[in-house]
Structure 1
Amino acid sequence: MTNTSQPAILVLADGRSFRGFGFGATGTTLGEAVFTTAMTGYQETMTDPSYHRQIVVTTAPQIGNTGWNDEDNESSGGNIWVAGLVIRNLSHRVSNWRAQRSLQEEMESQGIIGIQGVDTRSLVRHLRDQGSVAAGIFSGEAAKRPVEELVEEVNAQESMAGADLSTEVSTDEVYTIPVEGEKKYTVVAYDMGIKMSTPNHFAKRGIETIVVPAGTPFEEIKQYNPDGVFVSNGPGDPATADEAVAIVRDVLKEEVPFFGICFGNQILGRALGLDTFKMKFGHRGINVPVKNHVTGKIDITSQNHGFALAMPTENPGEEFDTDFGAAKVTHTCLNDGAVEGVALSNGLAYSVQYHPESAAGPHDANPLFDQFIDLMSNHSPNNK
């Protein structure tokens, strides 16, 4: 059993600190402190590559109740990608029939450092005022060092703004997720930090997914004769992703059906000429309301992003000019007006900032996968 009585301290770059007790691995971890309002799905969150280099603060008061299993991981190898975990209370027992071990046991085996006993209400209020900030968790002997030294170490780490992280989490080799049942289409998915639920959604709809490394040139993927191209979610600053933007521009020139999620939304936006910016504290949760300005419908969505596209027009839904024809912002967040989706007006390319694969989260946005099927059925290059 992991020792959960060892001293630990969370230190923010602005000098604020929170003491508690360590769990999982012991030592030091650095990252950007962000909070998630999700009430469930901590395993999916922790294994989401989009959280690479981020110390996640949970607003749910107790974590660990459902333990850990080998089925709900969102990374292909089951790796935990969060830099650290900050919680109020750690559940003393696991109460789920699917659990194979406890959260703290999994964190210890993967070398992930956590801190419990933190007043997460006070911490989240601070982050909401200050925005996402650099931070560090120090446990065991590291927690006994002077706080001033720890603050210096936290401030010395690389900023998240300007960080090119997608290549750090992307696959090194091409691999295929086969269909369930009859094969209908082939999609090449660029792994910018892909969540495995996405190709699983494709598989259930008869789509074979060929997952390729982030920087694979468009000319190379032609050998797979794809009916469509997908760009996944992922971590880091989209302003650094010039290579991915160039690839998507090649896809648009060839008029291959395109679908993007999260980081893929920012890449499509940049390919269409839009700018990106770092948000104050981002969107991380599973109950974020988004309005579809094409249909007028409102979806409750799962989100995890710290960067966003700049609004190109005065009002969402208005067309703007691009190198590939007219485009428009299709979705916005009802909480703060952030851009949540863009699309070419001809329908050949679309993307959303949120996560329709719903792992964890509501299923309101699942029809976006069916929209991709409709797009490929009408415009696949293999039909020409």
Structure 2
Amino acid sequence: MKYQSKKKALILLADGTIFYGKSVGNAEGTAFGEVCFNTGMTGYQEIFTDPSYFGQLMVMTNAHIGNYGANEDEVESDTVKIAGLICKNFSYDYSRPDADGSLLDFLNKNNLLAISDVDTRALVSYIRDHGAMNAVISTRVDEIDTLKAELKKVPSMEGLELASKVSAKEPYYYGQENATFRIAALDIGIKKNILRNLAARDAYIKVFPYDTPFSELEAWNPHGYFISNGPGDPEPLKGVIETARQIIAQDKPLFGICLGHQIIALANGVSTYKMFNGHRGINHPVINLKTGKGEITSQNHGFAINREETESHPDLEITHMHLNDHTVAGIRMKNKNVFSVQYHPEASPGPHDATYLFDQFFEMIRAHADVNVSV
């Protein structure tokens, strides 16, 4: 389906810089959020539904978006989580046989504003030079002063608690009830593929809302605990940090990914900070400092943990390092059954170099289980 007469649209950055484009599908509207970019060549549907992207305006650096349509099975949550989409060329037609429909239909179903015909190369270059900032996308191209005033009211991502916006409201189960292992997963923005990877290793998972107290997690008598990925600043999540401290004190196996990694660091007194530009893509190089092997990883985060504090911490060891900027990509506790990574070993599509981390988690459970679990 072709749209010959597209509506004019714009991207207005917090510093006043403007980029122009056209609305996808002749949609009208306005969307606010922190503008960020993802360098992945594929996996756009997974990106759009990843809870870690909640409230962000997503710039896709790949020149063509939508060319393989959408498939209802290829989602990381039940709804689109990004605030808006910015791309160069939007494909209204698609060619993949197992697609359920077009990406436009998928975005319309989720009421997402998207704009195309944007010079994304120039936009991404600008963001890289000037850092992450709030922005607005809109078809109200003649109301720039009004949009500027509205944009000033949008809170900064720094200090913003968003886990409550994406976490489950009630506990739920995933996997086979008669599985060998029971995992208590604290949902601060969990991706479905994480649950798939846990269940594939003979686990039955109970997913708990972000504000669940440790006593309730413990009452389920799990063999191990998991703290998920998620959006926003980790520092305001005081209750989650306290829950992590209590899990650590029990010395039960604990695995954290992305925001969960940052929570584990904060539970150990290591601070976090907002990055000038985050890591978002499926080609980020990481070195495993324990094995000396390199890994190509999928990453999506705008915050990181303090490297100097981690290095000087008596109970922590850096296990993985990002090779581009030497930020901390993984840690473990020397005296506890706890480890975490700042990237996504469950990535799909994307590199599978780090799926061994799920196996490592279950090896830890087998080694330290206080119940009858066969090896």
TM-score above 0.5, yes or no: yes
2:347 is matched with 358
Write the letter of the residue equivalent to 2:193: S
Q: Name the SS for the 2:245 alignment partner.
A: helix
2:103 is matched with 103
2:273 is matched with 277
Q: Evaluate the alpha carbon distance shift between residue 49 and residue 197 of structure 1 in structure 2; reply closer, same or farther with a 3 A threshold.
A: same
Between Structure 1 and Structure 2, how many residues are aligned? Answer: 371
Alignment of 1:192-203 (within 5 A): 192-203=188-199
> CA-to-partner distance for each residue in 1:202-242, whole Å, 9 max, x for gaps?
11110111101001011011221100000000001011111
CA distance in 2, matches of 1:254, 1:337: 32
Structure 2 residue 64 is the aligned partner of structure 1 residue 62: yes
Given candidates 203, 212, 220, the residue that maps to 1:224 is 220
Q: How big is the shift at 1:360?
A: 2.9
Structure 2 residue 147 is the aligned partner of structure 1 residue 112: no
Given candidates 147, 153, 171, the residue that maps to 1:156 is 153
- Identity, in percent, stands at 42
> CA-to-partner distance for each residue in 1:156-185, whole Å, 9 max, x for gaps?
2111111000011000011111139x6110
CA distance in 1, matches of 2:241, 2:302: 19
Q: Name the SS for the 2:176 alignment partner.
A: coil
> CA-to-partner distance for each residue in 1:40-60, whole Å, 9 max, x for gaps?
000000000000010000110
2:333 is matched with 344
CA distance in 2, matches of 1:293, 1:359: 24
CA distance in 1, matches of 2:171, 2:147: 41
Structure 2 residue 92 is the aligned partner of structure 1 residue 92: yes
Q: Is the 8 A contact 1:53 1:83 kept in 2?
A: yes
Structure 1 residue ranges (4+ consecutive) displaced by more than 6 angstroms after TM superposition: none
Alignment of 1:284-323 (within 5 A): 284-312=280-308, 320-321=313-314
> CA-to-partner distance for each residue in 1:82-117, whole Å, 9 max, x for gaps?
000000001131111121111111111211001100
Structure 1 gaps, min length 5: none
2:321 is matched with 332
Q: Name the SS for the 1:143 alignment partner.
A: coil
CA distance in 2, matches of 1:312, 1:320: 9
CA distance in 2, matches of 1:98, 1:162: 42
Structure 2 residue 216 is the aligned partner of structure 1 residue 214: no
1:11 is matched with 12
Q: How big is the shift at 1:383?
A: 5.1
Write the letter of the residue equivalent to 2:101: R
Structure 2 residue 175 is the aligned partner of structure 1 residue 174: no
> CA-to-partner distance for each residue in 1:247-300, whole Å, 9 max, x for gaps?
000001111100000000000011111000000110000000011111111100
Q: Name the SS for the 2:235 alignment partner.
A: helix
1:29 is matched with 31
CA distance in 2, matches of 1:175, 1:381: 24
Structure 2 residue 240 is the aligned partner of structure 1 residue 244: yes
Q: Name the SS for the 1:240 alignment partner.
A: coil
CA distance in 2, matches of 1:243, 1:311: 24
Moved more, 94-103 or 147-156: 147-156
1:143 is matched with 141
RMSD over aligned CA atoms reads 1.6
Write the letter of the residue equivalent to 2:31: T
Structure 2 residue 134 is the aligned partner of structure 1 residue 134: yes
Q: Is the 8 A contact 2:251 2:336 kept in 1?
A: no
Q: Name the SS for the 1:335 alignment partner.
A: coil
Q: Is the 8 A contact 2:92 2:103 kept in 1?
A: no
Q: Is the 8 A contact 2:228 2:259 kept in 1?
A: yes
Q: Evaluate the alpha carbon distance shift between residue 343 and residue 104 of structure 1 in structure 2; reply closer, same or farther with a 3 A threshold.
A: same
Q: Evaluate the alpha carbon distance shift between residue 36 and residue 368 of structure 1 in structure 2; reply closer, same or farther with a 3 A threshold.
A: same
Q: Is the 8 A contact 1:21 1:116 kept in 2?
A: yes
Q: How big is the shift at 1:155?
A: 2.1
Q: Name the SS for the 1:238 alignment partner.
A: coil
Moved more, 372-381 or 211-220: 372-381
Q: Is the 8 A contact 2:92 2:102 kept in 1?
A: no
CA distance in 2, matches of 1:358, 1:347: 27
Moved more, 328-337 or 16-25: 16-25
CA distance in 1, matches of 2:251, 2:92: 54
Q: How big is the shift at 1:151?
A: 2.1
Q: Is the 8 A contact 1:229 1:256 kept in 2?
A: yes
CA distance in 2, matches of 1:155, 1:331: 38
CA distance in 2, matches of 1:152, 1:383: 62
CA distance in 1, matches of 2:202, 2:2: 44
Write the letter of the residue equivalent to 2:271: D
CA distance in 2, matches of 1:179, 1:341: 30
CA distance in 2, matches of 1:376, 1:312: 30
> CA-to-partner distance for each residue in 1:182-213, whole Å, 9 max, x for gaps?
61100010111100000101111101111010
Q: Name the SS for the 1:46 alignment partner.
A: helix
Write the letter of the residue equivalent to 1:165: L
Q: How big is the shift at 1:312?
A: 3.1
Q: How big is the shift at 1:310?
A: 0.4
